[in-house]
């Protein structure tokens, strides 16, 4: 299938234009242009580094880094040495407080956001790709939940959406269900009922009970799909 870069609709492989919005479809890249990871199937985001494969744009966190560099180079930041030193010391402290050998990736609630950043960085030290991917999903889901709820950080549903999108694109069913809710309600993105239905379906097929209930509701009330009472009962 080909994923439309404009509306996210999943089209047939040989389609030239999106059947939902009419946008010309592009072939999916075989390798991530940002990190070089080989891509299997169709992805909106690189499962390894999170690069947006549809738009070719950096994520918000990457854009923030670029903007900071531009401000510094143009002299708009007159004296940031103290704040930079403070931030760096906080990061060093976060790194020193993490015992990577005792991390329980199924319960990351006791770690700060800085510590979670370091934990995600540390994951790259593992050689097994599938193992790295599974751990990264757990970390990103925890960070996404915190941005969504404002737990220890300011509420930022846009960042939460990006993190859940990365996990969902890597095949995580919990993130797929949350992404469906984001598209249905407009959390951190535009409301797209059909896209919400598709993510609900992906999560439901992997056994997520909440997604199965949401999918049944979609079939019952025609949310993102045609009303189908038989499918709703299944």
SS3 letters across 59-90: CHHHHHHHHHHHHHHCCCCCCCHHHHHHHHHH
Residue 70 counted as domain residue: yes
Verify that 103 and 32 share a domain, yes or no: no
Residue 183 counted as domain residue: no
Burial class (CB in 10 A: 0-12, 13-18, 19+), 105: middle
Q: How many C-beta atoms lie closer than 10 Å to residue 140's C-beta?
A: 24
pLDDT of the residue at 124 = 87
pTM above 0.75, yes or no: no
pLDDT of the residue at 233 = 86
Per-residue pLDDT of the chain (234 residues; tens, 9 = 90+): 566 655 666 666 666 666 656 666 666 656 666 665 666 666 666 666 666 666 655 544 444 444 444 433 434 344 444 555 554 554 455 556 678 888 999 999 999 998 999 899 889 889 999 999 999 999 999 999 999 999 999 999 999 999 999 999 999 999 999 999 999 999 999 999 999 999 999 999 999 999 999 999 999 999 999 999 898 887
Residues 105 and 139: beta-carbon distance below 8 Å:
yes
Verify that 88 and 74 share a domain, yes or no: no
Residue 234 counted as domain residue: no
Residue 69 counted as domain residue: yes
Verify that 64 and 88 share a domain, yes or no: no
Q: Give the end of a domain, one of 78, 97, 123.
A: 78
pLDDT of the residue at 7 = 62
Angle, CA 13 vertex, CA 36 and CA 31 arms, to 5°: 5
Q: Give the end of a domain, one of 62, 78, 94.
A: 78
Verify that 64 and 85 share a domain, yes or no: no
Verify that 94 and 152 share a domain, yes or no: yes
Verify that 113 and 128 share a domain, yes or no: yes
Total number of domains constituting the chain = 2
Residue 161 counted as domain residue: yes
Angle, CA 52 vertex, CA 50 and CA 57 arms, to 5°: 120
Verify that 17 and 64 share a domain, yes or no: yes
Q: Give the end of a domain, one of 116, 143, 170.
A: 170
pLDDT of the residue at 28 = 60
Read off the DSSP letter of residue 225. Answer: S
Residue 203 counted as domain residue: no
Q: How far apart are the C-alpha atoms of 33 and 36, rounded to whole Å?
A: 6
Residues of the domain holding 154:
81-170
Q: How far apart are the C-alpha atoms of 46 and 102, rounded to whole Å?
A: 28
Verify that 58 and 90 share a domain, yes or no: no
Residue 113 counted as domain residue: yes
Residue 108 counted as domain residue: yes
Verify that 3 and 51 share a domain, yes or no: yes
pLDDT of the residue at 135 = 96
């Amino acid at each position: 299938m080909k994923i439309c870069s404009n509306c996210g609709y999943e089209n047939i492989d040989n389609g030239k234009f999106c059947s939902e919005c009419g946008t010309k479809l592009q072939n999916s890249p075989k390798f991530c242009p940002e990190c070089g990871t080989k891509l299997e199937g169709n992805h909106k985001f690189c499962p390894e580094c999170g690069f947006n494969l549809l738009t070719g744009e950096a994520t918000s966190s990457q854009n923030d880094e670029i903007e900071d560099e531009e401000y510094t180079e143009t002299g708009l930041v007159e004296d940031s040495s103290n704040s930079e030193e403070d931030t760096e010391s906080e990061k060093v402290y976060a790194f020193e407080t993490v015992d990577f050998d005792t991390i329980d990736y199924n319960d990351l609630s006791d770690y700060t956001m800085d510590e979670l950043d370091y934990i995600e960085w540390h994951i790259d030290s593992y050689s097994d790709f599938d193992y790295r991917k599974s751990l990264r999903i757990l970390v990103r889901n925890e960070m996404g939940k915190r941005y969504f709820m404002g737990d220890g950080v300011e509420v930022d549903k846009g960042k939460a959406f990006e993190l859940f999108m990365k996990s969902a694109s890597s095949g995580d069913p919990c993130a797929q269900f949350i992404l469906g809710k984001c598209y249905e309600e407009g959390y951190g993105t535009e409301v797209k009922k059909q896209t919400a239905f598709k993510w609900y379906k992906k999560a439901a097929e992997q056994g997520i009970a909440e997604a199965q209930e949401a999918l049944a509701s979609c079939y019952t009330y025609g949310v993102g799909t045609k009303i189908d009472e038989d499918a709703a009962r299944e």
